[in-house]
Structure 1
Amino acid sequence: MDTTMSASQQQRSSLMPMAIIGTLFFIFGFVTWLNGALIPFLQIVCDLTSTQALFVAFSFYIAYTVTALPMAWIMERTGYKKGMALGLGLIALGCLGFIPAAMSQTFAIFLVSQFVVGTGLTILQTASNPYIVHIGPQESAAVRISIMGLLNKGAGVVAPLVFTALVLGDFEGITAKTVATLAPAERAAQVEQLAHGLILPYLGMALAMVLLTIAMVFSPLPELALDTDADDTEDDKRSVLQFPQLVLGAVGIFCYVGVEVIAADTIGLFGSELGVANATSLTSYTMAFMVIGYLLGLVLIPRVLKQSLALTLSAVLGLVLSLAVVLGSPEQHWLSDTLWGWLGLPTVPNTVALVALLGFANAMVWPAIWPLALDGLGKFTAKGSALLIMGIAGGALLPLLYGYLSDVADHQQAYLMMLPCYLFILYFALAGHKKRRW
């Protein structure tokens, strides 16, 4: 009787923290996947090559690598709750930086602002993930993590659509191709109008972050005690680098985040190059397939599929789709006609639809790599997690390589670079995660 009451009270007491952290995870997704709309937009506004435009993703994701340790140090001194408030404040500051950047159309200010936003998200991610594990029963932690993941990916569907509606509402059908055909004076006037369209949305985002910062400070979110548990592990291990499954997992995370960002953030550039209307909203297609894959994974893992098998199938599908993008026809639309055209949604060339389908292939890679890479680490788990977080740098570096290849060859052929990434993920799924000694 008393146990039932205790469990019931614990469930009720975790609802408010869950709602607060769930809001944060939606913000993570919204801000992160806004990049897919921002990249083709800034390519037009700042007259950029594909490589230059993808520095938007680089400046965002490199913040995770550069600021992870300093932000963790700050959080140890401020506590988790104040750390999350600081992260929200930094996102607000970064959003405010978009206003002078838009007024002057200065790409460098956009990049600095992106880095500040990425830094804010770094501390939010570092602080909020442990909460999900600790605010309820350990046996239901996986369910809470899955709910947070769906909020994150769902925000990725919404963000590009909101951006396109608010910023490009008066410029329907505009692409890099259509702007390039305008006379110089007309082009300059239209670009200035486009740039100024960023001001109000980003001012609104900054104000929303300020309000959330204040709400976080006064929220009933309990402070977490830092876990200093020292589990037993193999006596001869003195460094995380002595765990092959972890090191190979970090490389796998590097490859995965790289291909995930390429699929979500280059689809707009690719579509714009092909003259697809409202190319800034194309990231929503990738994220929608990611949500479908995530839901399917929740149903099948581990009831039907083991994590290693799910990772293997994801890697194989990624290889097949990457090859199909390179070999597909940019003139035909039958794939999107079949998949979603019957719903009345705008169709896209087959090659663009195949990039969107990569979202489905990528959906379960992150949640599958983590447990396989951390298995058996014992007291090294915390440091191992930090090493895996460093792998997010793949989202900064690999899209730049894609941008370079698309400039020297073309966008379609550049997707060949994804093949070695999926091959490594396949190796980790089949053999890498089983290694225990070098």
Structure 2
Amino acid sequence: MTTIFFMWGFLTCLNDILIPHLKAVFELNYFKAMLIQFTFFGAYFLMALPAGWLVAKLGYKKGIIAGLIVAGVGASIFWPAAGMRLYPFFLGALFVLATGITILQVAANPYVALLGPERTSSSRLTLAQALNSLGTTLAPLLGSVLILSKEVKSSADIAQLSAADQLAYRTQEASAVQGPYIGLAVVLVLLAVFVHLFNLPKLKETTAEADTGHHTLLDALKIPHVMFGVVAIFCYVGAEVSIGSFLVNYISLPDIGHMTEQQAAHYVSLYWGGAMVGRFLGSALLAMMSPRKLLAIFAVINMLLLAITMSTSGDVAMWSIVAIGLFNSIMFPTIFALGIEHLGPLTGKASSLLIMAIVGGALLPPLQGLFADHIGVQHAFFIPLICYAYILFYGARGSKIIVDKIPTAAATR
């Protein structure tokens, strides 16, 4: 299961390298470049319900296999997309890839949370997410070598080339993504075969048969800690993805890191590496202390770090934004585990809602891109600052369980 978490982390974070590459190749502004994240995370919103239905029908194991195969198909579409040199085709490939990852999220997150005692579900899910962060740590390093290693010419330099040379250059730049994504497609299909060969424990708690009360999504959304949790996931993923998406362009600015985009990509790896380290440490902390309290503390720290990066320059601004990754670490798994706590057969419905909320990663980066085009990248970080303020609320108050708001059939788990 941790291998599955690793793979979707790797695929998701590779977008942070794809953004500056396609931004330069297609000469996009920040808003248009962030359509990459809009398309990728928009799939979570559009496909979470179909994915939930699929997992309920197939079960966890077959659902995971289906997710891996769909993601493999999406990765393979990058080959013709690069050949045709069409930005919308790239976005289409990302949508299919993200659909596969959505199926994996719907199946794997609740599966890991339910594999053991409810008391330690946050700790268990955080440990699995640590391997997800290993994937997000390695993706920028590998992506910077395979995708960003060649210098992208300016518009003025390209204009001086002949029509034939311009076409050859565009083809070469676009094809830089073909090899890495075809390799990922092969790995995903092989992983699906390996999962098929493994004997995973069967859990029926979130299958269609387990929901004897025929509860709806609205029933789950009426439960306060689920409703607040959905907004918290929206805010967290939106903040995390917005920061990661802008890191390469932000750190390479003259008054921040003053370096090339390839060099800046290594700091993206540190950002996600901090999340990995934090998840290993957080898994131990969550086994000893209240997940709600730790979530609130980490939210406050990230708010302070964002305030620092927005008001300073140079190394201080650079390292304060990178350090946020460390304190992002426990947020997603903790919010997710708290959001499905004490729900019994309603767990599947709540899980689908929480996965749909990952659409925050689709909506907030373009919004931040819009502000970045007008007020600059640095000041646009006020968007994630607001998000962490809400997460503070969720940890302190919003995640508390109100028993009489939970349907009787779900409460008697």
TM-score normalised per structure 1: 0.80
Structure 2 residue aligned with 1:405: 371
Match of residue 328, structure 1, among 288, 297, 312: 312
Residues 241 and 91 (structure 1 numbering): CA distance in 2 closer, same or farther, change over 3 Å? closer
Question: What residue ranges of structure 1 are gaps of 5+ in the alignment?
Answer: 1-20, 233-237, 334-349
Aligned partner of 2:65 among 56, 77, 85 = 85
Note the C-alpha offset of 1:58.
Answer: 1.2
Larger Rg: 1
One-letter amino acid of the counterpart of residue 319, structure 2: A
Note the alpha carbon deviations across 1:329-376, whole angstroms, 9 max, x for none: 1xx33xxxxxxxxxxxxxxxx433322112122112223323433444
- State the partner residue of 1:199: 178
1:2-48: CA deviation from partner (whole Å, max 9, x where unpaired):
xxxxxxxxxxxxxxxxxxx2221111111111111111111111111
Count of matched residue positions in the alignment of Structure 1 and Structure 2? 388
Contact 1:51-1:400 within 8 A present in 2 as well:
yes
Q: Give the aligned residue type for 2:382.
A: L
Distance 1:321 1:140 in 2: 29
Relative to structure 1, the CA distance from residue 306 to residue 72 in structure 2 (aligned partners, 3 Å threshold; closer, same or farther) is: closer
Q: Give the one of 286, 295, 301 matched to 2:286.
A: 301
Q: Distance in 1 between matches of 2:278 and 2:24?
A: 32
Out of 381, 385, 394, which is 2:360 matched to?
A: 394
Within the candidate set 109, 118, 137, 2:98 is matched to 118
* Separation (CA, whole Å) in 2 of partners of 1:268 and 1:302: 35
User: What amino acid is the match of 2:339?
Assistant: A
- 1:69-218 to 2 correspondences below 5 Å: 69-133=49-113, 144-169=124-149, 171=150, 174=151, 179-180=154-155, 182-185=157-160, 188=166, 190-217=169-196
CA distance in 1, matches of 2:183, 2:76: 9
Pairing 1:224–2:202 present:
yes
Q: Pick one of 3, 19, 22 that aligns with 1:39.
A: 19
Letter in 1 for 2:220: V
Residues 272 and 48 (structure 1 numbering): CA distance in 2 closer, same or farther, change over 3 Å? farther
Pick from 301, 320, 324: which aligns with 1:317?
A: 301
Q: Per the alignment, in what secondary structure is the counterpart of residue 415 of structure 1?
A: helix
Once residues 122 and 385 of structure 2 are traced to their aligned partners in structure 1, the CA distance between those partners, rounded to angstroms, is 31
Does structure 1 conserve the Cα–Cα contact (< 8 Å) formed by 2:40 and 2:95? yes
- Once the two structures are TM-superposed, the CA of residue 83 in structure 1 deviates from its matched residue by 2.6
What do the CA deviations read for 1:169-226 (whole angstroms, capped 9, x no partner)?
Answer: 4x2xx46xx6356352459455432222222222222222233333444x13347352
Taking every aligned residue pair, what percent have the same amino acid on both sides? 32
Q: Is the 8 A contact 2:368 2:383 kept in 1?
A: yes
- AA partner of residue 292 (structure 2): S
Residues 227-286 of structure 1: per-residue CA shift (max 9 Å, x gap): 255799xxxxx8223322221121111111111111222212323454532134432121
Structure 1 distance, partners of 2:119, 2:298, is 26
Instruction: Indicate the SS of the match to 1:434.
Output: coil
CA distance in 2, matches of 1:181, 1:280: 25
My pick for the range that moved more, 114-123 or 79-88, is 79-88
Residue 64 of structure 1: CA displacement? 1.2
**Do the aligned partners of 1:41 and 1:280 also contact (CA within 8 Å) in 2?**
no
Any conservation in 2 of the 1:26–1:151 contact (CA below 8 Å)?
A: yes
User: Which residue of the partner structure matches residue 338 of structure 1?
Assistant: none
Kindly state the Cα deviation for residue 428 of structure 1 after the two structures are TM-superposed: 1.8
Does structure 2 retain, via aligned residues, the 8 Å contact 1:40–1:272? Answer: no
Q: Which amino acid aligns with 1:83?
A: G
Separation of aligned partners in 2, 1:374 and 1:225: 15
CA RMSD of aligned residues (A): 2.8
Maintained 8 Å contact 1:253/1:392? yes
Deviations along 1:385-428, one digit per CA (max 9) or x if unpaired, are 22222211111111111111111221111111222212211122
- Equivalent in the alignment of 1:419: 385
Whether contact under 8 Å (1:33, 1:283) holds in the other structure is no
C-alpha contact 2:236 2:387 (8 A) present in aligned 1 = yes
User: Deviation of residue 134 (structure 1)?
Assistant: 6.0
**Shift in CA distance, 425/245, structure 1 to aligned 2, threshold 3 Å:** same
**Cα offset for 1:147?**
3.4
Consecutive unaligned residues of structure 2, counting only runs of 5 or more, are 406-413
**Is contact 1:64–1:118 with CA below 8 Å preserved after alignment?**
yes
- Deviation of 1:140 after TM superposition, in Å, equals 7.2
